[in-house]
Amino acid sequence: MPRLALLLTTLIWGATFPATKAALEQIPPLSFLLLRFFLGALLVGAWFAVARHRVHRGREVLYASAIATIFLFLGYVLQTVGLRYTSASNSAFLTALYVIFVPLILRRFDGRVILATAVATAGLWLLVKPSASMNVGDLMTLGCAVAFAGHIVCLERFTRQFDAPSLLLWQMAAMALLFVPITAWEQAPSAAFTPTAVLLIGLGVTGGLATGAFAVQMWAQQIVPAQQVALVFASEPAYAAWLSWYFLGETLDLQGWIGSGLILSAVIIGAFGSGAEPAAAGAAEPA
């Protein structure tokens, strides 16, 4: 059940690509990220108020949230700035390489994970068709993949030690605050914040649905090993390509369909098969 929930969550992550692309025709990227995470923080805070769930404010929870937020913030900034210097296809491929970095960081290797990772990487290459040359944007996006891998690893550990909803709230709030000075530097015109239908839909998908997807991820990572989570998330470019093809009319050739099929095959092989489970919450090391 948690793996199926993650697969549906990844569908929402994939939907953020065409939604964001449409919204960026109106608003600069960092300003959009500020609105996205501000809305996410408001929605999570509203859930706490309605559910009357206690917000954990202990030093350990705040410290864990800060570490996870650093990786999340670096991932989004490096990816967004890197897109100014590299192609969208290179960005999509390099970002998804967290499927390789997560098991490397955790040093968790078995035949099934290695096979699934190789198949997913080949599928990603066929789907997005990145160029072989490297530039500064590619290096920044590679750093973004490492940052997102670090965030996935952090969530596996911290969601077993601390209250997951509180971790989510502090991360959303911290992300919104961190983007405030960067947005001021971006100097977006006031017209960029006009509440048009495109902007509101984009925020609804990224700030609303994606925040819910993030909450599901944090719940699932209490159960599913991080390397399997990374494999499930590798299907995000496939979902993004399909949704962009359907809603935005973007082309998807035979090679792209084969690549996306390989990615989903890798998810089935690696994420839905047997694998070593990480320590349970009660056996986790103290922070």
pLDDT digits (tens, 9 = 90+) for 33-72: 999 999 999 999 999 999 999 999 999 999 999 999 999 9
Please compute the mean of the pLDDT values over residues 103-115 and round it to a whole number: 81
What pLDDT band is residue 281 in, cutting at 50, 70 and 90?
Answer: very low
Which of 110-124, 140-154, 187-201 is least confident?
Answer: 110-124
Structure tokens, 142: 């590679």
pTM: 0.80
What pLDDT band is residue 273 in, cutting at 50, 70 and 90?
Answer: low
Q: Residue 100: enclosing H or E segment and its boundaries? A: helix 98-106
Ordered by start, the domain boundaries in the chain are 2-274
| pLDDT at 69 (0 to 100) | 96
| pLDDT at 279 (0 to 100) | 44
What pLDDT band is residue 260 in, cutting at 50, 70 and 90?
Answer: confident
- Which amino acid does the sequence have at 55? V
What pLDDT band is residue 185 in, cutting at 50, 70 and 90?
Answer: confident
Question: CA-CA distance, 108 to 140, in Å (whole number)?
Answer: 26
Burial readout 158-191 (b: 16 or more C-beta within 10 A, e: otherwise) = bbbbbbbbbbbbbbbbbbbebbeebbeeeebeee
Using a 10 angstrom Cβ sphere, with 0-12 exposed, 13-18 middle and 19 or more buried, the burial of residue 49 is: exposed
